[in-house]
Amino acid sequence: MYRKNYRSKLAFFRGKGPLPARLVFLYSFILFMISCLFSVILIDQAIEPIIINIAKSEIKRVSSEVINESIDENIAEHDMEDLIIVHFKDEGKTPAFSFNPKIYNSIRSSTTKDIQRKLGINEDQQFYEGQSDKVDSDQFKSLVYNIPLGVVTHNSLLASLGPKIPVRMSLIGNVEPDFKTKFTDAGINNTYLELFAHFKINVQIVIPSYSEKMLVEQEISLGGIFVPGDVPDYYSEDGGKSPAPAIVKPASPKK
**pLDDT > 60? residue 245:** no
What's the chain's length in residues? 255
Is 9 a domain residue?
Answer: no
Are the C-beta atoms of 99 and 85 separated by less than 8 Å? yes
Is 244 a domain residue?
Answer: no
CA within 13 Å, CB half, 164 = 6
β-partners of residue 239 are none
Phi-psi region for residue 123, left (φ > 0), alpha (ψ -120 to 50) or beta?
Answer: alpha
Is 72 a domain residue?
Answer: yes
Query: What pLDDT does 166 receive?
Result: 74
Query: What pLDDT does 121 receive?
Result: 43
Tens-place pLDDT, residues 166-213: 766 665 667 788 888 777 776 666 777 788 888 888 877 776 667 778
What pTM, to 2 d.p., does this model score?
0.55
DSSP letter assigned to residue 162: S
Is 16 a domain residue?
Answer: no
Is 144 a domain residue?
Answer: yes
Q: What is the residue-wise DSSP string for 98-116?
A: EE-HHHHHHHHHHHHHHHH
Confidence class for position 39, pLDDT limits 50, 70, 90:
confident
Tens-place pLDDT, residues 42-88: 767 767 777 778 777 877 887 888 888 888 777 777 777 777 777 77
β-partners of residue 151 are none
Query: What pLDDT does 132 receive?
Result: 38
Is 1 a domain residue?
Answer: no
What are the CA-CA distances from residue 147 to residues 99, 106, 194 (Å)?
A: 44, 37, 39
The proportion of the chain whose per-residue pLDDT surpasses 70, expressed as a percent, equals 59
132 sits in which H/E element: none
Indicate the SS3 state at residue 85. strand
Is 129 a domain residue?
Answer: yes
Query: What pLDDT does 243 receive?
Result: 58
Are the C-beta atoms of 40 and 208 separated by less than 8 Å? no
Domains identified in the chain, total number: 1
Is 243 a domain residue?
Answer: no
What are the CA-CA distances from residue 24 to residues 12, 16, 112, 227 (Å)?
A: 21, 15, 65, 88
State the Cα–Cα distance between residues 49 and 53, nearest whole angstrom: 6
Query: What pLDDT does 252 receive?
Result: 56
Confidence class for position 128, pLDDT limits 50, 70, 90:
very low
State the Cα–Cα distance between residues 86 and 195, nearest whole angstrom: 13
Domain span including residue 116: 29-227
